[in-house]
Amino acid sequence: MGRRAETIILPLELLRHLKPSEFTDAQEYHVWQKRQLKLLETGLLLHPAIPLEKSNEHAMRLRDIIQACEVKAIDTGKNSETMKSLVNCIVSLTWRSADGCPTDICHWADGYPVNVHIYIALLCSIFDIKDETLVLDEVDELLELMKKTWSTLAINRPIHNLCFTWVLFEQFIVTGQAEPDLLSASLTMLAEVANDAKKVDREPLYVKMLASVLTSMKKWSEKRLLDYHKNFHKATMGLMESIVPLVFSASKILEEDVPGYLTSASENGEIAENSEGNRVDFYVRASMKNAFAKILKDAHIDGADVEINEASEVLIKLADETERIAEKEKTIFSPLLKKWHPISAGVGAVTLHSCYGTLLKQYLSASSTLTEDTVSLLQRAGKLEKVLVQMVVEDSVDCEDGGKAVVREMVPYEVESIILNRLKQWIQDCLKRGKEIIRRAKETETWNPKSKTEPYAHSAVELMRHVKESMDSFLQTPVNITEDLVHDLADGFEHLFRDYITFIASCGSKQSYLPTLPPLTRCSRETKFLKLWKRAACSVGTDDPNNHFSNEGNHPRPSTSRGTQRLYIRLNTLHYLNSQLNSLDKTLALSSKIMPSPRRFGSRNRQLDSSSYFDHTRTTIQVATQHVSEVAAYRLIFLDSNSVFYGSLYIGDVVNSRIRPALRILKQNLTLLCAIVTERAQPLALKEVMKASFEAFLMVLLAGGSSRIFSRADHQMVEEDFDNLKRMFCTCGEGLIVEDAVNIEAETVEGVILLMGQSTEQLVEDFSIVACEASGIGMVGAGQKLPMPPTTGRWNRSDPNTILRVLCYRDDRAANHFLKRTFQLAKRRG
């Protein structure tokens, strides 16, 4: 045609030279005609290279023709007025210049973005129609031909490079990312784009295109990288190896060569880190979180609300999956990402550690008890943590700070500490329940035997059952238990036992049953009381000196009160507790779960010595048993048996008030004691009754009040009665009290009886000597008086107060005269 290509308006030439007869039918021609006019409309009216005034008559006429074509095809013949008008409008519009001067440049397809879309369509022709992943062998020739359109389309080398980069990248995506070479080629072209972007003579339109293309490429690539665990696998690592540098290259161009990009990216929430390492760090953390979220979704778990039921089992499985993700990161992705981030695997491990830790924390906050499932979960979490920490350590070997910054991000699960604290809390809860049992016992315990075969308090059985069940549960905990923890539990139980034992022993004291000591007085022969007593004895006859007990017959009933019997139940309860301690000790000693505590100052390791876990409790029980036995004995003698012992023995005179009736009642009481009190508790209980009986006998002799008087001749009957009392305890039971023990306890009473057999003169002499020695004055000089010895209650034959009391109850003139002269003691009132 002899015309330059840039002067040819291709759609117009096609309209002029292609006739309707060259098409299948009129409809097909009409459609084709409208397409050409649309192209002209887009290039000349909608997106002209040179701005167009709204009042331009050529533009208005062209619009009318295009609208008319929508109804029917226009006549394109040489003589057609419409065609002439169309040509005139198009030529006028295409040969315009910005300043109105004549020009040799034809502007019909060089307006943006028409020119770019047309050029991109041309570039897409390099791909094989049969296999769109392949580039035609004639690509170089095709590109050289396309270069001829640059002047028409206002394309230059930078725009070509940018468009070609995009076409390769887009073709890679639309073909299903099946051909990595397309992505590699796009990355190669991006290097050219980077060079173009540095040029100082860049046009604003180019910068706009540059920002649009690279932002799109970057967003698509980063979307893949933010979840690379989902989007890539071992076989597609080649793609990831191209995508990562593509993102970095695109980001670098945008940040360095596109004004205002960093500000707008920050406002839009895009990644705008200024280093490749920071970007990889972000990708790793995001991908790990997404991978973890996926396993949560697959396990049907809402991370914000973890159900306790079956949650531990699910979390254990999650730990397995988390470990699998960590291994995948380490073996597949980390070797690639290390090019840009030296501890990428460490960052991934830290992120997974945080994700799983958050879930674990939610579970633990909802479950405060230490169950077997919880322990299994904590142990699995501990194993996962070790794997992740080791991963960080191995990945940080070549790091400048040894990976300390990353490690500091890992908030430890503190599995061992949690288990320990849960165990300690379990112990506290267990002890709290034990305290509640004791509290109820203090309110409701009546000290009645649980049954005939279990003659101890029901509350003791309940407490011991709780202790045993707690200990069994403690030892069944699926963790190794340190000796210190066992001590914490045992010490807690000891506090419970001591509290309960203190409650058992809260039964008063023997002093509350001892009668008040009467004031010291001197006897006078034939007191009014004695005269009345003798007169009464004569009037009723004295054939049976003990006839005031005749109503009891030969089988008197025991006088043991219900209160005393309850004290016996307290004794049985103490022995029951003591008997159970051996079982508790054995359970702890034979347990294979107990591990020695770490060596540290003050640590306790019971396995290194032979002591028991409950030695303090045993000591407390011994003290309490002694106390309760003593109180029970004194109650039995001074309260229950008062009428036949202290209240009647030797009242009036000795001969008519012997001890035999008291012994009969006492034997019955001892028989009942042995029937109620358990076998192991009987020896101490009987011994305390013996001691109380001997003290009562002493009080009869030394503090019997004004109703008792003794002569020197009475001491043989008194001695005989005491021998009978001793014999009863020696023969009680089958050797429950050995004779030597009886004799030792009887020494004080026998010493007093010996004093009763001495003459008054000897008693006065002995008293004077020991009273002076006790007071420290040596000998009594002329005009001095003997000091009044204090009442200590520790009576014995060498005690001045004891000798004085023998004199006070001695019925003779010499004793009466000595007491009156020395101490001005009052005479008894009959």
Q: How confident is the model at residue 541 (pLDDT cuts 50, 70, 90)?
A: very low
643/649 Cα distance (integer angstroms): 9
Has residue 503 got a pLDDT over 90?
yes
Single-letter amino acid code for the residue at 461: V
Has residue 641 got a pLDDT over 60?
yes
Q: Looking at residues 103-121, what average pLDDT do you find?
A: 87
**Which two tokens mark 517?**
């000591």
**Which two tokens mark 594?**
């107990």
Q: Looking at residues 361-381, what average pLDDT do you find?
A: 85
pLDDT number for residue 780: 61
173/182 Cα distance (integer angstroms): 9
Indicate the range of 234-238, 392-396, 543-547 predicted with least confidence.
Answer: 543-547
Instruction: Report the chain's mean pLDDT, rounded to a whole number.
Output: 86
Q: Looking at residues 265-288, what average pLDDT do you find?
A: 75
Residue 743, number of CB atoms within 10 A of its CB: 12
pLDDT number for residue 264: 61
Q: Which tens digits make up the pLDDT trace of 54-96?
A: 888 888 999 999 998 988 888 888 888 888 898 999 988 888 8
Q: How confident is the model at residue 599 (pLDDT cuts 50, 70, 90)?
A: low
685, burial (CB in 10 Å: exposed 0-12, middle 13-18, buried 19+): buried
Indicate the range of 89-103, 244-258, 410-424, 734-748 predicted with least confidence.
Answer: 89-103
Residue 105 backbone phi and psi in degrees, to 5: -105, 130
Q: Which tens digits make up the pLDDT trace of 311-369?
A: 888 899 999 999 999 999 999 999 999 989 888 999 999 999 999 999 998 888 887 77
- Longest alpha-carbon distance in the chain: 182
Q: Which tens digits make up the pLDDT trace of 150-194?
A: 988 889 999 999 999 999 999 999 999 989 999 999 999 999 999
Q: What percent of the chain has pLDDT over 70?
A: 89
743/720 Cα distance (integer angstroms): 15
312/373 Cα distance (integer angstroms): 6
169/184 Cα distance (integer angstroms): 9
Comparing C-alpha atoms, which of 228, 239, 200, 191 is closest to residue 329? 228
Q: What percent of the chain has pLDDT over 90?
A: 55
Q: How confident is the model at residue 540 (pLDDT cuts 50, 70, 90)?
A: very low
